[in-house]
Chains A and B, each alone.
Chain A
Amino acid sequence: GAVVSQHPSRVICKSGTSVKIECRSLDFQATTMFWYRQFPKQSLMLMATSNEGSKATYEQGVEKDKFLINHASLTLSTLTVTSAHPEDSSFYICSASKLAGGYNEQFFGPGTRLTVL
């Protein structure tokens, strides 16, 4: 199997606080994990690519000082939204890459809904 978990599934926080979201590959090792953001009625937008043991690669327009990514092990990546503001409210989804059938397939976590008051 290829199961990816995220924690928490839902978080509500006050403006100005920081929130950490964990993404774990439960039954496989993932050298690469991806973080996406999805606003209501919009598609998934890739925020960053996270490689174990190295710095994350951020997509254009994503502030790396605001969205801190740490990929400390082959099964865990974390996204920290620092000094969150209401405009950061969104659905954050991670995926983990696993070699399957000769291709690197992405397996998605269940997502974390962040609401910043």
Chain B
Amino acid sequence: EDKVVQSPLSLVVHEGDTVTLNCSYEVTNFRSLLWYKQEKKAPTFLFMLTSSGIEKKSGRLSSILDKKELSSILNITATQTGDSAIYLCAVNFGNEKLTFGTGTRLTIIP
């Protein structure tokens, strides 16, 4: 069974800190890994990763995939209170369907 696991489940840090969120997967037919940010409503897209070792960056957020380790990390530097959200990792196993991880609830304390 395809499976996606995120860690930590919950993280509380102070504004300005840097955080690293983890996502690992067990897969039969990996196609891509996606990161989403969810605040009060539906998830908003952050990154899609398909190739190992290539960092994707958007402002203070960056992400990289390691296909050998079957994992990905999402980094957020100089965190702000607006970064407080649930961060979801999802994997596309080649059939268009996304399997979501458990999510990491990130709280930034001012």
Chain A hits for B25, CB < 8 A: none
Q: Are A111 and B41 in contact, CB atoms less than 8 angstroms apart? A: yes
Q: How many residues of A contact B (CB 8 A)?
A: 22
Q: Which of A25-79 contact B (CB under 8 A)?
A: 32, 34, 36, 41-46, 49
Given A43-B88, A43-B101, A44-B88, are A108 and B43 neighbors across the interface (CB < 8 Å)?
yes
Partner of B96, one of A32, A43, A107, A111: A32
Given A43-B88, A44-B88, are A104 and B43 neighbors across the interface (CB < 8 Å)?
no
Cβ-based interface call for A89 (8 A): no
Given A108-B43, A111-B41, are A46 and B97 neighbors across the interface (CB < 8 Å)?
yes
B-contact bits for A91-104, CB 8 A (1 contact / 0 none): 00101010000011
A-contact bits for B31-66, CB 8 A (1 contact / 0 none): 010000000011111001010000000000000000
Q: How many residues of B contact A (CB 8 A)?
A: 19
Q: Are B97 and A44 in contact, CB atoms less than 8 angstroms apart? A: no
Please indicate which of the listed interface residues B32, B41, B90, B101 has the most CB atoms of chain A within 10 Å of its own CB.
B41
Cβ-based interface call for A106 (8 A): yes
Interface of A is mostly: strand
A-contact bits for B76-110, CB 8 A (1 contact / 0 none): 00000000000010100000111111110100000
For the complex of A and B, the 10 pairs showing the least CB-CB separation, nearest first, are A108-B42, A111-B42, A43-B100, A44-B100, A110-B41, A43-B103, A93-B42, A110-B42, A111-B41, A43-B102
Q: Identify 4 new A-B residue pairs, CB closer than 8 A, beyond the known A46-B100, A108-B42.
A: A34-B98, A43-B101, A104-B96, A109-B42
* 9 residue pairs from A and B, CB less than 8 Å apart: A32-B96, A41-B105, A42-B103, A43-B100, A46-B98, A103-B50, A106-B98, A110-B42, A111-B41
Interface residues of B (CB under 8 A from A): 32, 41-45, 48, 50, 88, 90, 96-103, 105
